[in-house]
């Protein structure tokens, strides 16, 4: 019998309602996408907070060794790398877990700890996955807006954590995308307002960039002063320039938290190259520290130039700047792409006129400044 030429009807399988309602995380555009669409000869990629100075030369030498070992599975628990992190963090190895970027760890926290209708408090604007992953699990996320000056609203955050049963308090310090920071005493006061069984999650993705800031607290030194369980998240993507390898880590208050996360963790969630490169990067922290210092100095110049153009950037303790451009930032971002400049427009309600721009190489920052001046009708011959 001849096969029927009539196409079969596609049958859909419905997702969980929580998943259907989720937004897709805005990961930004790649250089290739912009080059192809706008035929740009040079791309200034300032949308993802990458370190333009690249990884340590010591780390890059690992590639030849990796070729000989590619047929092996990676160390499932990243034991060697965890031992190296003990020397850097003063946190015991069995209180440390590695992830496929700290993004994966945020997801694991949500999967391991959150049930439908349980409550999470974060800030607004926020790193998107602090909201998306909890909502994936059916949790309720209450986001406390920053102040008009671009700072954490401590009284409002205290009120939010006391308002109803709370499972997780989670936010970035320094803030992503704003760049502000919460000082030690404020952090401790906020945490002590939380119910005693609240899991405290402090995302320190930009830890290395903030270390030189006056009064910046290392959360691993602050949170042990109280009894609530906690996790501090850090990454090799930013200051160590290993974003393409996807490797981050969690530092925990106790082994019980790590054991819980390991129950939902993929068995081989960090690959061999990422583990080896991260380990070598820790052995050459001078390279990281030099690139961070260079970026911080360039950030101050960059902010000064923006001020000269009439903007008021939020003081930053990171490798990016949050800026109110006074118009729809998504429309402006599209216009900047025609100049080969990639930035990240913010789309959370109330912040649609804001953009986040990474601190890149001086030439790329200057290209952004020129394009911004042109697209906003400003003329500044110095750029």
pTM, two decimals, is 0.93
User: Architecture of 70-282 per CATH?
Assistant: 3-Layer(aba) Sandwich (3.40)
- DSSP-derived pairing of the beta strands 354-358 and 344-345: antiparallel
**What gap in Å lies between CA 343 and CA 366, rounded to an integer?**
13
d(CA 302, CA 48): 17
Domain ranges of the chain: 22-49+286-375, 70-282
Domain 22-49+286-375 has CATH 3.40.50.2300: no
Q: What phi, psi does 305 have (nearest 5°)? A: -65, -40
Cis bond before residue 343 (omega within 30° of 0): no
Per-residue pLDDT of the chain (383 residues; tens, 9 = 90+): 555 566 678 888 888 888 888 888 877 778 888 888 888 788 999 999 999 999 999 999 888 888 889 899 999 999 999 999 999 999 999 999 999 999 999 999 999 999 999 999 999 999 999 999 999 999 999 999 999 999 999 999 999 999 989 999 999 999 999 999 999 999 999 999 999 999 999 999 999 999 999 999 999 999 999 999 999 999 999 999 999 999 999 999 999 999 999 999 999 999 999 999 999 999 999 999 999 999 999 999 999 999 999 999 999 999 999 999 999 999 999 999 999 999 999 999 999 999 999 999 999 999 999 999 999 877 544 44
Task: List the structure tokens of 34.
Answer: 């912009």
* Cβ partners under 8 Å of residue 107, min gap 6: 129, 133, 136
Torsion sign over Cα 286, 90, 104, 262: positive
């Amino acid at each position: 019998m001849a096969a029927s030429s009539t196409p079969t009807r596609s049958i859909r399988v419905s997702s969980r309602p929580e998943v259907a309602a989720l937004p897709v995380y805005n990961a930004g555009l790649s250089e290739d996408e912009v080059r192809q669409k706008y035929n740009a000869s040079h791309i200034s990629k300032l949308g993802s907070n990458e370190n333009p100075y690249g990884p340590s030369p010591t780390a890059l030498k690992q590639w030849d060794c990796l070729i000989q070992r590619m047929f092996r599975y990676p160390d499932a628990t990243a034991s060697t790398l965890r031992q190296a992190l003990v020397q850097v963090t003063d946190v015991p190895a069995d209180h440390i877990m590695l992830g496929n970027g700290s993004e994966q760890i945020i997801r694991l926290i949500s999967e391991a700890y959150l049930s439908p209708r349980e409550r999470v408090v974060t800030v607004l604007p926020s790193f998107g996955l602090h909201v998306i992953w909890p909502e994936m699990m059916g949790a309720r996320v209450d986001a406390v807006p920053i102040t008009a000056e671009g700072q954490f609203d401590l009284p409002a955050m205290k009120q939010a954590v006391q308002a109803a049963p709370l499972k997780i308090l989670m936010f970035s310090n320094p803030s992503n995308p704003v760049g502000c920071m919460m000082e030690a005493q404020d952090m401790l006061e906020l945490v002590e307002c939380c119910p005693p069984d609240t899991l405290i999650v402090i995302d320190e993705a930009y830890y290395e960039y903030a270390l030189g800031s006056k009064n910046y607290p290392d959360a691993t030194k602050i949170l042990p002063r109280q009894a609530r369980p906690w996790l501090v998240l850090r990454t090799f993507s930013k200051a160590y320039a290993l974003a393409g390898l996807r490797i981050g880590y969690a530092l925990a208050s106790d082994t019980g938290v790590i054991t819980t996360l390991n129950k939902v963790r993929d068995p081989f969630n960090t690959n061999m190259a990422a583990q080896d490169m991260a380990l070598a990067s820790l052995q050459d922290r001078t390279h990281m520290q030099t690139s961070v210092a260079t970026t911080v100095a360039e950030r101050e110049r960059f902010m000064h130039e923006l001020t000269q153009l009439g903007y008021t950037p939020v003081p930053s303790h990171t490798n990016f700047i949050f800026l109110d451009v006074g118009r729809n930032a998504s429309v402006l971002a599209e216009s900047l792409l025609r100049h080969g400049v990639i930035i990240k427009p913010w789309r959370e309600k109330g912040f649609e006129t804001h953009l986040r721009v990474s601190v890149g190489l001086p030439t790329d920052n200057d290209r952004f400044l020129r394009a911004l001046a042109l697209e906003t009708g400003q003329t500044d011959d110095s750029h």
